[in-house]
Each structure stands twice: as structure tokens, then as C-alpha cells.
Structure 1
Amino acid sequence: MALSRRAVIAGAGALAALPQALPQAPPQAVPQAAAAADADADAASLARDERFWAEVAGQFRVSGDFVNLENGYYGIMPEPVRRAYHRNVDVLNARNSHLLRTAYKGRADEVRDRIAALLGVTRAEIALTRGGTEALQNLISGYRRLRPGDAVLYADLDYPSAQHTMNWLAGRREATVARFVLPEPATRQAALDAYERALRTTPRARLLLLSHMNNRTGLVLPVREIVAMARERGVDVVVDAAHSWGQLDFTLPALGADFAAFSLHKWIGAPLGTGFLYIRRDRLADVEPVLGDESFPAGDIRSRVHSGTMDVAAPLTVPDALDFHLRLGAAVKQARLRHLRDRWVSQVRDLPGLQILTPDEPGMYGAITAFRIAGRTSTADNEAVAATLLDTYGLYTVARTGMAGGDAVRVTPALFTSAAQVDRLAAALRRLTPRLRA
């Protein structure tokens, strides 16, 4: 096998042994062991190696009070990253304004360089934010090509805060807001048809919000094809990639997007309060500086974010998170997370009365998957299901709302989740579903 468990764990241990000082920027090259494991066969084989993943799980400090299957909110830091964050907090506290006014500026640029290199773009196209929400809000609210009467589009599965910002454009830009519904469970073609129909029936559309992987059901959309479809009609697209990067293996050029928002504290495992936005270099003028910011020239993407004085220990720790990400490799992480999802879904997919809202079609899902028990479509129904899973079976999940077909329960395993834990979920659903069917 190209990537040994010892290579990953030893590498993580080396990170933990860094000196107690502001760490230097690590090399940008992908470690050879991880690169060698990018072949699909190797990644798929490693995804099933429970001994390997038990050792990876040992790199996370996880509560034993319950099985956490709600890792879509944010992804906890592995121990090498958590320790690096604490060191950076101590350095920031000790050096205070001197760090903020001197070394931090260069280090922030190094973080942007590393992100850009991994995504196949340039530093000039990346601006750090406090998360995916801030990135989405700045891209949408700052989009300056709308004229009174133009329309903006989003789907029922898009992120609530981003929907709210799109709605805000009605008053701010005098735009018409159009919402459409994605089929469930969707197929790739059905999703493409839904976007084609929405674009065709909204001829004045100028801006589309598009979730690469939505946070409600985990459906993964064919972004490149939808972006191309929209571009043909003169519609710009803001891609929400907050959940996809670190969970799926891709680069920005593969998406074809001009504008995108990312989180680093979800599937990259950086500290809370880290993310970034992307604007393709030749499209920067189409997003205005945030609130007229003059801290940077208008030609600098950093003028599209102004977060005030931040806890810079968080972005300073992003390189450590990227190191951990790379030691496993994006392809290996993707394969493991899909394997865990496939394992529990395959055991309940044909269970009468249980609806799996994310399709099995390759490329249409990652770790996140939602289910609904027939007839149980209200918020109260699904909060009760999630409560029963926790109180009776020790499994923590979360109820999700906003889908046109009704509420559901979201399940999100993580890198520290074992096969036995998702088997436990499947067994619980086999017992619970017959009792709750309408």
C-alpha cells in the first residue's frame, strides 16, 4: 500500500514536536507519501483499513459521552493542530501589537499562498475571512452588476445565511428574488434540468447562488456544468464551497467558478473563525470593497473583507491544518468519508419507510447525508428523531429544515468515526423506523 499508517502518524507526531515559538511556514510541496496514495485504488483500499483509521482517530481528542455524527457544523482540530493553535495564542498574547503590526502581515500572505497553491489559483485571488458565511455575504452583497429589475436565483437547499443575503438584494439593489426547488433524491441529470429550467424561466437572472455541497442534505452538484450553463445566459455564479473543500478532492479551475466562498474550520480542521473568499483576478472589479473599505487599494482583493481586529492565532494555525490534510491526502479523505457514508446507508437504503435524501450516484455525495422517516416531515418530528437517537442510542445527529419536501435528520461522520459507529447508527435506524412510520 502506497501510504502506510506509520507515515501518517509519524508525520503528525513530528508536527506536534514543533518548538514553542511562532512556527515558520512549512514547505508547500505535498509529502510524497500522500501524493503516492492519490490513485483511486490505493485510496479506496486505505478507506477500509480500520486499524489505520483507529490510529488517525487517535490524533483527535473526542468526547466519549456520545458518538458524534454531527460533524458538519465544524470539524474539530486534530491534536497537532490544536497544540499549534494554543502555541500561537500564547505567542499572540505575549507579543501583542508587535506581532499584529509586523510578522503577521507576511505570515497571512504565506497562508494565502498555500491555499492558492493547493486550489490551483494565485494569492491575489484569495482573501482570508472568518468563515464561509462572511465570505458568502461579502461576495453577494458586494456584487455590483445588478440593475433594478434584474433577478437573483437560489435553490431551497442553499445555505440559509446566503439565502438571506440574496433576499437582501431586493431592497439594496432592487432585484427580483427567485427561489426554486431541487428534486429529492436528485440525480445528476435531474439537478442539471432543475438549474436549466430555473435559468430559462428567469430571463432577467444575473446572479446565481450555487452550493457545491449543501449543508442540509449533503447533495453534491455538478458545479462546472451549471456554471457553464449560467455563463451562456449571462448569469454570474457565487459558489458556496464551505462544505466541499477538505471533504472532496478538487481544485478551483475544475469548478470553473469566478466567485467562491470557503471555510477552513470545517473539513480542513483549522481553528474556528477561518475561511476565505475567491475572486478570479479579472473579475475583482465586479465585487465592490466592503462598506467602502480603504484599508487596501481597490485593486487588492483584501479590500473585499474587513473583519476588524481578529484572533490572528487562528489563521496562523491554518498551515498546520493544511499539513495534516496533506499527510492524509484529499483523495484518501474523500474515499474514507464516502466509505463511512456508504456503509451505513447500504444497511438501511431499502428499509421501508426510511427515505435517504442523498443519491448513491458517484460524485453526488460525500460524508453528509440526510434521512427522513415517512410521514415525519415537521421540525418537531425530526428534532424528536434526533433526540431519540441521542438519548436511547448515544448517537448525536441534527435535525435540518428548509427542504421543500420537509425536514430531515442529517448524519455526518468524520475522520475519527469508526465503521462500528456507523454500523451502530444503521442498527438504531432499523429498530427505530418501524416504530415511527406513519
Structure 2
Amino acid sequence: MPQSRRSFMRQLGAAAASPLVLPDWSETNTLTSLQQFPETLKSPQQWAQDEDFWAWVKTEFTVSPNVLNLNNGGVSPQPKSVQDAHIRFYQFANEAPSFYMWRVLDQGREALRSKLADLSGCLPDELAINRNSTEGLNTVIFGLNLKPGDEIVLTKQDYPNMINAWKQREKRDGIKLVWLDLTLPSENEDELVAKYVKAFTPRTKVVHITHIINWIGQIMPVRKIADAAHAKGIEVICDGAHSYAHLDYKIPDLGCDYYATSLHKWLCAPFGSGMLYIRKDKIKNVWALLSNTEPDGADIRKFESLGTRSFASEMAIGTAVDFHQAIGSARKQARLHYLKNYWAERVRDLPGVHVHTSLKPEWAGAIALFSVDGMKSTEVDSQLFGSHKIHAVGIDWENIHGVRVTPHVYTTPKDLDRLVAAIASMAGKQKKS
């Protein structure tokens, strides 16, 4: 091996954080990628169980050795190389903020845009860099030209911030929200697609689809719903908050017109970093959410008029992309699915324990929901942390109730053995009571 894996990532972090030169990473990054040799030797599924490789990945994170974080679906920690880049850029900006932020660091955005476009499989001019999924999706929701009576199809299981944005437009502009109530988990693609299509009418203008339902980890058949919508002249918004850098896909694969994600989730970029995709021919149809000289123009950059932002966290996104690429998208998805199944398969047959997420890779990745008979979600969540120092999250939303568990690439099977033992202990006590 030409260099150690750890040495590779340390060099990567140091180069990405260099304060005086902002390289175009899409062209000048000559560091050897781990993808050049490992993925040709094994399938992603075989790599998913190579504990030596994933033990190295874990060493790149500074997570607590005592508190077991299984709520990575909320926000993910950053590897050390990303933290180092962020700190270096931040310290650099503080030397002369207005000069270094606006005249130096700001110049790195176009190289970063190209880097994200390469990972996303789209044109750089279709991506705006912002702060999170909520900002990106709200930009579209509030920016579309809609009139009273126009119908929007969405579900009660979509994310609250998006639901509230649509409700605001309903209250303010008189549009009509057509609600679907999904029964999850589901492994029936035709049934899911049919539910959306049945709700379409001649007045339907937009369908809002969440790629991975955050409460339960359900992967939705976005492309098939999108194709059915487009056949009827309906535009498609996709919430990719939990699927980007989690599943192995390119944004155009989904067939959506509008898409947004939070890069501080599965990409492990700095907190408060996100991305908005709008198909190039649609950009002119969306008004800028914040003031811009051409709010109805065709330049994606009109959505980046945020005023003073954290340039340091923005520039460190590039290092997070490098780290993700070093692992490999296919290998990462396989590992995340393997980790979910590792614990879920061990608890699903315990008396009184229920797993509410599919174990099949086409229907779920890392995220899964479980419940224990006789215990409220909040009680299970509280006991996991109080007695076992395991941080997960209790979910009570519409018809979904349980505790959501989300491991990440630094999580080990031994960590999940601890979770399995905790669930078995709670279930055993319930059985005796």
C-alpha cells in the first residue's frame, strides 16, 4: 500500500485546510483515493463486513468512547480532517475578516460547487450552497408561482418544517394541500406509487416527496412517483435530507425538478451546511427567498444571497466530500445497511419487541425504528440513556411510534451489541411485570 490510510486522511485534511491557497479540488487533488484499489478487490457487501477497514474509519472520528451516539440521523459528527479544515479556515478568516472572507475564501465557492456537482451527478449551475434542507426546500416552497386553488400533494409523514411551510402558503395564498397518510413500513412499490397518483387531479401543480422518511427510515420510490407526476405536467420536489451521502445515487436519477439536503447529516460536513438543486430550466421559475438583484433570474447563485455566512464551515465541505469519496458511496451504503440489520435482526424476535423498518436494502438504509410492548417511546428512550448511556430518539408522529436508531460509519458491531443487550433487558423486564 503506497501510504497508510491514516496518513492519507491526515494529508487530505491538511491540504484542504491550507489558508493561503484555495485549490480547485475538482482538478488539483492528486492524493491517492482509497477507491483506486479496495473496491476492485471486494464487493460493497463484502467491504461492509471488513471490520479492520471500518475500525480505521472509526479512528478518524472524535466521538465519545462512553456515550453511544445512535442519533446520527439528527446531525452527524465530522471526521477529524473536516474539523481541522473548519478550524484552519476559521482562524484564517479571523486575521482580517472582511478581507479574507469576501476576497479570499468566497472565491473558493465555485470550486466547491463543481466538487459537489461531481458527487451529485448534475451541472454546477444547478446547485446552490446554503445551510440546510429546511432553507433549501423553503426556498422552493415559497418561491414557486402558485395561485389560489392550486393543489399540492404531500404526506402527513413528511418533515414538520416542510409541512409548516406548505401550511403557511395555504394560509397566505389559498392553495389547497392534499394529504396522504402513509402506512409504513412498506415494501410494495406499486401501492406507494398508486397512492400518490390517485391523489393527482387536473389542479395538482406540485408533489412533495421525502426520499427517506426520517421517522422510520422508509425509502420512497421517488423516481416512479416523479415519472407519473411529470406525465401529468406536475412538478416534483424531493426532500433528500436523509438520503444524500447515505444511499448510492445521483440526484438526476430521482427525476425531480427541485431537491435539497443537509450536508451535516450523512456527508459529515460542518454543522449548518446544506445544498439546493434546481433543474437548470426551472431556476427562472423560482423566486429568490432572500433579496437579490435578479430574484426571478436564471442564475442558481441568486439563492446564495445570505449576507454574512460562515465561510469557514462552507469551505470545509470540500474536505467532507473527500472523506466520503475515500470511503466510497456504494461501500458506505452497504455498511450502513449492514449495521442497521446487525442489531435489528437480533432484536426482532425478542418477545414484545417490534422492528418497524424493512430489512431489505431497497427499502431502508441505516435508519430503523423499534418499540417495546407496554412502554411508551419516551420511556424506552429515557431508559436507553439513563441505564445504558445510549443516545437514540423517541418518535411519536402521526401513526409512527417507537425509538429511532441511526448508526453511522464509525459505529461498530460491538457498539450495537450494547444496544441489543439494552433492548433485551427492557423487554425481559416488561415480560416479567
Would the TM-score normalized by the shorter structure come out above 0.5? yes
* Partners of 1:42 and 1:116 in 2: CA distance: 26
SS at match of 1:165: helix
* Partners of 2:40 and 2:18 in 1: CA distance: 37
Displacement after TM superposition at 1:93 (Å):
0.9
What corresponds to 2:155 in structure 1? 155
Displacement after TM superposition at 1:368 (Å):
0.9
| In the alignment, structure 1 residue 13 sits paired with structure 2 residue 6 | no
What corresponds to 1:298 in structure 2? 297
RMSD: 2.3
Change (3 A) 1:264 1:201: closer
Q: Which amino acid aligns with 2:19?
A: A
SS at match of 1:407: strand
* Greater displacement, 150-159 / 29-38: 29-38
Deviations 1:366-407 (A, max 9, x none): 11111122455xxxx211111101111221111123232x42
* Partners of 2:154 and 2:38 in 1: CA distance: 37
What corresponds to 2:129 in structure 1? 128
Structure 1 stretches of 5 or more lacking a match? Answer: none
SS at match of 2:95: helix
What corresponds to 1:115 in structure 2? 116
Deviations 1:184-222 (A, max 9, x none): 221142xx4234234323413211211111211111112
Change (3 A) 1:270 1:286: same
Aligned residue-pair number = 427
What corresponds to 1:353 in structure 2? 352
| In the alignment, structure 1 residue 400 sits paired with structure 2 residue 395 | yes
* Partners of 1:426 and 1:399 in 2: CA distance: 17
Displacement after TM superposition at 1:98 (Å):
1.0
What corresponds to 1:61 in structure 2? 62
Do the aligned residues in 2 keep the contact of 1:265 with 1:275 (CA within 8 Å)?
Answer: yes
Do the aligned residues in 2 keep the contact of 1:130 with 1:307 (CA within 8 Å)?
Answer: no
5 Å-filtered alignment, 1:405-424, equals 406-424=400-418
Change (3 A) 1:295 1:235: closer
* Partners of 1:436 and 1:137 in 2: CA distance: 44
What corresponds to 1:383 in structure 2? 378
Displacement after TM superposition at 1:292 (Å):
4.8
What corresponds to 1:283 in structure 2? 282
Q: Which amino acid aligns with 1:344?
A: W
* Partners of 1:236 and 1:40 in 2: CA distance: 42
Q: Which amino acid aligns with 2:384?
A: L
Do the aligned residues in 2 keep the contact of 1:5 with 1:52 (CA within 8 Å)?
Answer: no
What corresponds to 2:53 in structure 1? 52
TM-score (norm 1): 0.91
* Partners of 1:179 and 1:84 in 2: CA distance: 44
What corresponds to 1:435 in structure 2? 429
Deviations 1:96-154 (A, max 9, x none): 1112332233211111111011111111101111111111111111111x221111121
* Partners of 1:306 and 1:27 in 2: CA distance: 24
Q: Which amino acid aligns with 1:131?
A: N
Identity of aligned residues (%): 30
| In the alignment, structure 1 residue 205 sits paired with structure 2 residue 204 | yes
* Partners of 2:223 and 2:65 in 1: CA distance: 41
* Partners of 1:193 and 1:229 in 2: CA distance: 13
Structure 2 stretches of 5 or more lacking a match? Answer: none
What corresponds to 1:137 in structure 2? 138
TM-score (norm 2): 0.92
5 Å-filtered alignment, 1:6-405, equals 8-18=5-15, 21-25=19-23, 27-28=25-26, 32-38=33-39, 41-144=42-145, 146-189=146-189, 192-203=190-201, 204-294=203-293, 298-374=297-373, 376=375, 381-404=376-399
Do the aligned residues in 2 keep the contact of 1:26 with 1:319 (CA within 8 Å)?
Answer: no
